[in-house]
Chain A
């Protein structure tokens, strides 16, 4: 039998890598250019609260020849995080940067149909759930296309630094699940992480070959979470965009 945990590890400095308690996301500092929709007041959600199938996707690139430690590579990654995103996926960290508890706003554009240009706006964001020397994990809010976590990490294997993006997520509602399964959204998301890792490798003058691994963790959908569609960030962003002329005339 065990006794209640001793407080011996309560002061471990690594614990500050975790976000402070957050029940609802709060946007206090809106970077210039960011739309700031669908984030403020939303609850962060884990893979357990989403609707669709739960996938774990892992993308890796070997930074062969880069004479840096994993922590040094991560520092570069953090400092250039928005720059490594594809043009249609704009990240807006606050002035504080990618620190635990900070909110990063995202303005993305997605294609309406597979193979068509990315024109539909989606304004959303993520909470920095965890950040240490070699790892950043962000957690999505209600209404985000995915419910869960994306982890960006670096580590060393056989003397080579590996950079990795790993998502553990479900599509947040039935519409996102439909687009994921039948309209190519899943592949679109994959392209984003491949772009990020390719850009990171290119920053170090490495022609990186990104490897991908996908594991279906839970094939079931959670019908009890179908109601999440009311907070769908894509729908709300399009409605907001359509209302822009009306808001402009009222000014």
Chain B
């Protein structure tokens, strides 16, 4: 059985923004971890969600699918989802899969927080 190889920690900024720091791999088995992190952020009042990929080891196509389902949940709650810390490779994957048309990408967490505030 494939197992979860990812850890996510959630940190609140100014009561408005939740930063989800991703460490490890995002694949199909990361769904519960990702959705739990999102729920934790929103339960603390986050309106903006920042996905910090700076410690991402690997993401496969199922992982990209998870991001789409998360994006739809965020949009339905009229929240905003942005990403930061993507390597050049994963920025290309966001462009290839056209996720970049719906999720704004920032180089660093500081850039993301600056833009959101």
Known: A7-B87, A10-B89, A151-B65. Contact between A54 and B1, CB under 8 A?
A: no
Q: In the complex, what residues of B have CB within 8 A of residue A18's CB?
A: 61, 89, 93, 96
Q: In the complex, what residues of A have CB within 8 A of residue B69's CB?
A: 56, 168, 217
Query: Count of chain B residues with Cβ under 8 Å from any Cβ of A?
Result: 40
Evaluate contact between B58 and A14: CB separation under 8 angstroms: yes
Binding site for A on B (CB under 8 A): 1-2, 21, 28, 52-58, 60-62, 64-65, 68-69, 71-72, 76, 84-89, 92-93, 95-99, 101-102, 107-110
Known: A5-B86, A157-B1. Contact between A139 and B97, CB under 8 A?
A: yes
Known: A7-B87, A10-B88, A157-B1. Contact between A2 and B61, CB under 8 A?
A: no
Known pairs A56-B65, A153-B62 / 14 extra A-B pairs, C-beta < 8 Å: A4-B54, A5-B54, A5-B86, A15-B89, A18-B89, A21-B96, A44-B98, A48-B102, A129-B97, A135-B61, A149-B61, A151-B65, A156-B1, A157-B1
Is A40 part of the contact surface with B, judged by Cβ < 8 Å? no
CA distance A168 to B57 in the complex (A): 24
Query: Count of chain A residues with Cβ under 8 Å from any Cβ of B?
Result: 42
Number of residue pairs spanning A and B whose beta carbons lie under 8 angstroms apart? 104
Residue of A nearest to B19 (CB): A2
Q: Mark A180-206, 1 if CB is under 8 A from B, else 0.
A: 000000000000000000000000000
CA distance A49 to B64 in the complex (A): 15
Q: In the complex, what residues of B have CB within 8 A of residue A14's CB?
A: 58, 60
Q: Which 4 A-B pairs have the closest CB atoms?
A: A137-B61, A130-B61, A2-B54, A2-B109
Q: In the complex, what residues of A have CB within 8 A of residue B60's CB?
A: 14, 17, 130, 132, 135
Evaluate contact between A1 and B109: CB separation under 8 angstroms: yes
CA distance A103 to B76 in the complex (A): 34
- Of A2, A156, A218, which contacts B72 at CB under 8 A? A218
Q: In the complex, what residues of B have CB within 8 A of residue A21's CB?
A: 92, 95-96
CA distance A47 to B54 in the complex (A): 25
Q: In the complex, what residues of B have CB within 8 A of residue A212's CB?
A: none
